[in-house]
């Protein structure tokens, strides 16, 4: 189980996540694969440090989606990101024949309410 928290602070955003990850075989695949467990960061941050995405469940697919959000979300849409975010998600979904399932929490540095 992944634990993630996002909070707005007076000087920015605080994101926290655990680091334990695992990878299991796809359902309905007749290959015996032992579950792999490892430690890794579950937070992807843009180069300019203005977008951060926490990732959960299948990290390979979640990292791909996080990277697509980071590169595909122009700053002018941050105030109303819903439509563009859906476009990015559907585009990523269409690139895979079978999804393991992912969860992401997306944080933008701006715009932010006056504190």
Q: Domain span at residue 86?
A: 4-108
Tens digit of each residue's pLDDT, the chain (115 residues): 677 888 877 777 788 887 777 666 556 555 555 555 567 788 999 998 889 999 888 888 888 999 999 999 998 988 889 999 999 999 988 887 666 678 888 888 876 554 4
Count of structural domains within the chain:
1
User: What's the first-to-final CA gap in the chain, in angstroms?
Assistant: 33
The Cα-based distances of 75 to 28, 109, 111, 113 in angstroms read 41, 10, 9, 16
Containing 61, the helix (H) or strand (E) segment is: helix 59-72
**Does residue 113 fall inside a structural domain?**
no
Which helix (H) or strand (E) segment holds residue 110: the answer is none
Report if residue 114 sits inside a domain.
Answer: no
Rounded distance between C-alpha atoms, residue 22 and residue 11, angstroms: 34
Other beta carbons less than 10 A from residue 26's beta carbon: 12
């Amino acid at each position: 189980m992944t634990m993630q928290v996002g909070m707005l602070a007076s000087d920015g955003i605080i994101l926290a996540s655990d680091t334990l990850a695992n990878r299991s075989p796809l359902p309905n695949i007749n290959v015996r694969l032992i579950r792999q467990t490892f430690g890794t960061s579950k937070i992807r941050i843009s180069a300019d440090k203005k977008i951060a995405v926490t990732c959960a469940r299948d990290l390979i697919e979640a990292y791909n989606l996080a990277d697509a959000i980071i590169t595909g979300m122009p700053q002018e849409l941050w105030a109303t990101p819903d439509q563009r975010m859906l476009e990015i998600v559907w585009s990523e979904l269409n690139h895979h024949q079978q999804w393991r399932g992912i969860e992401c929490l997306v944080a933008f540095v701006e715009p932010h309410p006056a504190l």
